[in-house]
Homo-oligomer: A and B are copies of this chain.
Amino acid sequence: MTENKELYYMDGLSAPEIPEAGKPLPPWKETRVVGKPKTRVDAYERVSGSAVYPSDVILPGMLYGAILRCPHPNATVKKVDVSKARKMPGVEAVVCGADPEANLIWQYSKDYKDKIFPKNCRFEGEAVAAVAAATPYQAQDALKTIRVEYDVLDFVCDERNALEPDSPKVHEDGNEIKTDQYERGNVDEGFRQADAVLEQSYRTACQIHTPMELHGCVADWKRDRLTVWESTQGVYRVQQQVAEVLGLPMSKVRVVGNYMGGGFGSKLKAGKYTVVAAILARMAGRPVKMFVTREDSFLAMGNRPPGNMKIKAGVKKDGVLTALEFTATGTGGAYPAGGTSLLDFQVKELYKCENVRTEVTDIFINAGPARPFRAPGHPQCSWALEQMMDSLAAEIGMDPVELRLKNLVYYSQSGEGNPEYTSSGLKECLEQGAKEFRWAESLEKAKGASEKGHIKRGVGMAACMWFVGGGRPPSTVILKLFSDGSVNLNMGASDIGTGTKSVMAMVVAEELGVKEESIQIEHADTGTTQYASPSGGSKTVPTESPAVRDACVKVKRQLLDMAAGDLQTDAKDLTFAGSKIVSRTDPAKAIAITDISGLKSQAVVVGVGIRGPNPANKKIHPFGAQFCEVEVDTMTGEVKILRFLGAHDSGRVMNRLTYDNQVFGGIAMGIGFGMTEERVLDRNTGKLANRSWHDYKLPTSLDVPPDQVSSPVDMPDDEANTTGAKGLGEPVTIPTAAAVANAIFNATGVRVPETPMSQVQLCRLFDRAGKEA
């Protein structure tokens, strides 16, 4: 068996050296695992269907929950009659806002009763009642028997009208939530100094997450303990919220979320469905599975809200930006939900500009609440800013890449004290991307191609940064090295489809020298795994990987100490070599890791990894630049995206395969945002017009460019943390739509003000441009 056990270790390069306890961990000098393209550790499970997602959980005696939702964009519930539903076949529990029989359970949630099933339904899809029945069909049938009397009220479903004096009011205090203002330098003076000043208006449509796996959970009580299998990006946040709402100790709420089928920001928190499932399960004394319908996912599970942006920019002939002014309105829907959050970030930070003024106003409308959506605010702002940059470049006759290179900055312009960035690879992204895309050559070629006929070719590009990177504490992970040399990693973080587990396995393999197949990962379970904040904000890899590395180092240090005892030498004299620990000075002194007597007697060596603090006075940001080539039919408005290149600086590339997956996925999502996706609220009824994957157009594999290139700028950010990663998930989707719009402009000379760049909009624009020409 000993031979087998040695197979768990890699030969060749030795595991990296470790410093003495207490001394800082140096960056990896060279890596043998990290950075390579590695298949996911759970690829088989994901591809074969054997992975158990929360949707797959089936418990003995489980019921199926369903939620009745308000069909009106604005209404008051006068009466709910659930008497028929109670008698429907298979029904075991019914609950609604004004239900006396439910009081027993509402005692657990007296502060939240009116919030879960509110009297005022301020958007289509608000929860009104819920049932649990033996089958999903019986649950839906029972919903249909619930009679609700509504006072149907006037509504406003377009934030562009919501501040008009006669607009219906979503809340008593009116529809304006707040206006944020920011200013630096002297903007008016900046405009005066400019050689060219442009002013443009942009709008982005509302995009809906609608991930593959629906929102939902299975809730199960064992006496006073609630276990929830939830499709979530963060089990600990769900735990905290459910405990808060139900008045339970957090220790009595266990949330498990091993696999999850996409969230993109919409599954960062518990849903009403979570709480309602728990309540129904309590009432029925049986587990309840509660997944929303696909229709519900469009109505009430969050969105990237629309943005209306005015941007004014001044530039000198040499490309120096002299002033930026940005005014925007946004909406989070019927409740405060960050409708304008981070809308002006790129304007304030991406390019060097001394004079900047922004104003963003957040507005209520009668529509489903927003939730964070892959780079909240950023693709919207990028849509405006990056088209403006493109226009400025055209205006002064400068290459758009060149214009951006002219305005690079290496410190935070809006942050207090103007802290430096730990690193910025924006220059490298622009230069490497342009080179690999053959930007100059393509630009030249496109010019010629666009001369003739109605089929035009063009290239475009856009750059971006993400507002925060490098991860942050707290995070704790536990690594157990078993006596046969195999390891178990225990961490709280969710793998939201990005390959977190695979990257962490690589960190363990790198640091311990074990093969990935002998590494087992337990994660995303508040009952049994360690604490992690939700997987969001592109922070999972840079937050968790340093904690994992720390755990490995702590295990290695113990092994060296133990081996020093066995070999009767000093631990400082020892180093790792494949499956052995060897003396640096005396080649005869060597011991197989699995032969270390301390490991044998302890059976397990435990390393507790802690995520250290970030550098105190610096800011960490990922950067990127994307380039694309399109073919536009100016007669039909059809756009073919022929090729795309993403050059991103996200610090160290941890796994080249999952890295590229993220780049391509982000571009695909950006294409959806730019080309096809739009929540359509009917102006006459306030109701959602497209509530299915048939009517709401997500990009499919046929909409993805046939020629996609990921060109990583692999710059480990050793100041950020001990693995040098900065985060990739969100930046990759920020500049995509703007790059396409710029390519269309390059091809046709027409600026596209709104997403989606539908054939209808483009035909109208081309038509108008033709008439103007």
**Distance in angstroms between the alpha carbons of A111 and B480 in the assembled complex:** 27
Residue-wise interface mask of A (499-528) relative to B, using a CB-CB cutoff of 8 A (1 in contact, 0 not):
000000000000000000111101001111
A528 touches B529 (CB 8 A): yes
B50 touches A223 (CB 8 A): yes
**Distance in angstroms between the alpha carbons of A601 and B613 in the assembled complex:** 13
B490 touches A528 (CB 8 A): yes
B487 touches A251 (CB 8 A): yes
B111 touches A1 (CB 8 A): yes
Contact of A480 among B45, B480, B531 (CB under 8 A): B531
A606 touches B531 (CB 8 A): yes
A474 touches B603 (CB 8 A): yes
A223 touches B483 (CB 8 A): no
What are 18 A-B pairs at a CB distance below 8 A?
Answer: A58-B60, A225-B520, A240-B603, A243-B482, A243-B484, A243-B486, A249-B482, A249-B518, A251-B486, A251-B488, A252-B518, A252-B520, A254-B520, A473-B602, A480-B530, A490-B528, A520-B527, A528-B528
CB of A250 closer than 8 Å to a CB of B? yes
List residues 221-250 of chain A with CB under 8 A from any CB of chain B.
Answer: 222-225, 236, 239-240, 243-244, 247, 249-250
CB of A585 closer than 8 Å to a CB of B? no
A250 touches B533 (CB 8 A): no
A223 touches B45 (CB 8 A): yes
CB of A604 closer than 8 Å to a CB of B? yes
What's the minimum C-beta distance from A196 to chain B, rounded to whole angstroms?
Answer: 47
CB of A4 closer than 8 Å to a CB of B? yes
**Distance in angstroms between the alpha carbons of A474 and B478 in the assembled complex:** 16
Query: Chain B residues with Cβ under 8 A from A522's Cβ?
Result: 527-528
List residues 519-564 of chain A with CB under 8 A from any CB of chain B.
Answer: 519-520, 522, 525-531, 533
Given A482-B250, A531-B480, does the pair A244, B1 have CB atoms closer than 8 Å?
yes
Can you name the residue of chain B whose Cβ is closest to the Cβ of A492? Answer: B604
- Other than the given A474-B604, A488-B527, A530-B606, 6 more pairs (CB < 8 A) read A1-B111, A50-B223, A240-B603, A251-B482, A251-B487, A478-B478
B8 touches A249 (CB 8 A): yes
CB of A608 closer than 8 Å to a CB of B? yes
What's the minimum C-beta distance from A540 to chain B, rounded to whole angstroms?
Answer: 16
Query: Chain B residues with Cβ under 8 A from A608's Cβ?
Result: 606, 608
B486 touches A250 (CB 8 A): yes
CB of A137 closer than 8 Å to a CB of B? no
What's the minimum C-beta distance from A711 to chain B, rounded to whole angstroms?
Answer: 34
Query: Chain B residues with Cβ under 8 A from A182's Cβ?
Result: none
CB of A476 closer than 8 Å to a CB of B? yes
Query: Chain B residues with Cβ under 8 A from A476's Cβ?
Result: 604, 606
Q: A residues bordering B, Cβ < 8 Å?
A: 1, 4, 8, 44-45, 48, 50, 58, 60, 111, 222-225, 236, 239-240, 243-244, 247, 249-252, 254, 473-474, 476, 478, 480, 482-488, 490, 517-520, 522, 525-531, 533, 601-604, 606, 608
B223 touches A604 (CB 8 A): no
Query: Chain B residues with Cβ under 8 A from A602's Cβ?
Result: 473-474, 531
B531 touches A603 (CB 8 A): yes
A251 touches B531 (CB 8 A): no
A531 touches B111 (CB 8 A): no
Query: Chain B residues with Cβ under 8 A from A518's Cβ?
Result: 249, 251-252
Can you name the residue of chain B whose Cβ is closest to the Cβ of A482? Answer: B250
Pick the most buried of A252, A482, A601: most chain B CB atoms within 10 A of its CB. Answer: A482
**Distance in angstroms between the alpha carbons of A251 and B484 in the assembled complex:** 9
Can you name the residue of chain B whose Cβ is closest to the Cβ of A225? Answer: B520
B240 touches A483 (CB 8 A): yes
**Distance in angstroms between the alpha carbons of A361 and B533 in the assembled complex:** 61
Can you name the residue of chain B whose Cβ is closest to the Cβ of A224? Answer: B517
What's the minimum C-beta distance from A222 to chain B, rounded to whole angstroms?
Answer: 6
Can you name the residue of chain B whose Cβ is closest to the Cβ of A111? Answer: B1
**Distance in angstroms between the alpha carbons of A667 and B330 in the assembled complex:** 75
**Distance in angstroms between the alpha carbons of A254 and B521 in the assembled complex:** 11
**Distance in angstroms between the alpha carbons of A603 and B474 in the assembled complex:** 8
Can you name the residue of chain B whose Cβ is closest to the Cβ of A598? Answer: B474
**Distance in angstroms between the alpha carbons of A338 and B353 in the assembled complex:** 83
Query: Chain B residues with Cβ under 8 A from A488's Cβ?
Result: 251, 526-527
B478 touches A603 (CB 8 A): no
Contact of A1 among B236, B247, B526 (CB under 8 A): B247
**Distance in angstroms between the alpha carbons of A629 and B254 in the assembled complex:** 51
**Distance in angstroms between the alpha carbons of A476 and B603 in the assembled complex:** 11
**Distance in angstroms between the alpha carbons of A606 and B517 in the assembled complex:** 29
What's the minimum C-beta distance from A517 to chain B, rounded to whole angstroms?
Answer: 7
Query: Chain B residues with Cβ under 8 A from A252's Cβ?
Result: 486, 518, 520
Query: Chain B residues with Cβ under 8 A from A519's Cβ?
Result: 251
What's the minimum C-beta distance from A363 to chain B, rounded to whole angstroms?
Answer: 31
Pick the most buried of A522, A529, A604, A606: most chain B CB atoms within 10 A of its CB. Answer: A604
The 3 closest A-B pairs by CB, nearest first: A249-B486, A528-B528, A250-B482
**Distance in angstroms between the alpha carbons of A592 and B533 in the assembled complex:** 23
Query: Chain B residues with Cβ under 8 A from A44's Cβ?
Result: 223
Query: Chain B residues with Cβ under 8 A from A482's Cβ?
Result: 239-240, 243, 249-251
Contact of A247 among B4, B45, B111, B251 (CB under 8 A): B4
Query: Chain B residues with Cβ under 8 A from A483's Cβ?
Result: 240, 250
What's the minimum C-beta distance from A685 to chain B, rounded to whole angstroms?
Answer: 39
What's the minimum C-beta distance from A515 to chain B, rounded to whole angstroms?
Answer: 9
Can you name the residue of chain B whose Cβ is closest to the Cβ of A521? Answer: B251
A222 touches B60 (CB 8 A): no
Given A251-B519, A474-B603, A518-B252, does the pair A222, B45 have CB atoms closer than 8 Å?
yes
**Distance in angstroms between the alpha carbons of A603 and B601 in the assembled complex:** 35
What's the minimum C-beta distance from A154 to chain B, rounded to whole angstroms?
Answer: 36
**Distance in angstroms between the alpha carbons of A250 and B240 in the assembled complex:** 33
